[in-house]
Amino acid sequence: MTLDEYFATGPRHERPVFDAVVHHLEGVGPVYVEPVSVGIFLKNPRKFAELRPLQRWTALSFYLRRPARHRTIVRKVVRYGERYLHVANVADPADLDDDLRDLLTEAYDEAAG
């Protein structure tokens, strides 16, 4: 599935959030974007984050080696083995502030190394 095919059926708020996330990550390093039926996987080469559309926001999930806090992370942070799953509710590109971008960069770096 191409990105155009994927976004043809999604909610309007999803593409701007995706663009903001990818724009940030392209400054961090190479990112492989894999659109699938349920969302978009972000890899470097292994998956380190995903974007899943919901009605009012896009769920941005990522793993870290530690629990973290951010105003958009409203679900309980769950431990899976040595890592913690974080899910941020991102309704608008403005929600992707410096602190959330730092957490996403940390997830990218941990997956790469």
pLDDT in tens, the chain (113 residues): 888 888 988 888 899 999 999 999 999 999 999 999 899 999 998 899 999 999 999 999 999 999 999 999 999 999 999 999 999 999 999 999 999 999 999 999 999 87
Query: For residue 43, what are the domain limits?
Result: 3-96
Query: Which pTM was predicted?
Result: 0.93
Nearest to 44 by CA among 57, 65, 58, 63: 63
Q: Is residue 47 part of a domain?
A: yes
**Residue 106 main-chain phi, psi, to 5 deg:** -60, -45
- Residue whose structure tokens are 């999803």: 14
Q: Is residue 105 part of a domain?
A: no
Q: Is residue 108 part of a domain?
A: no
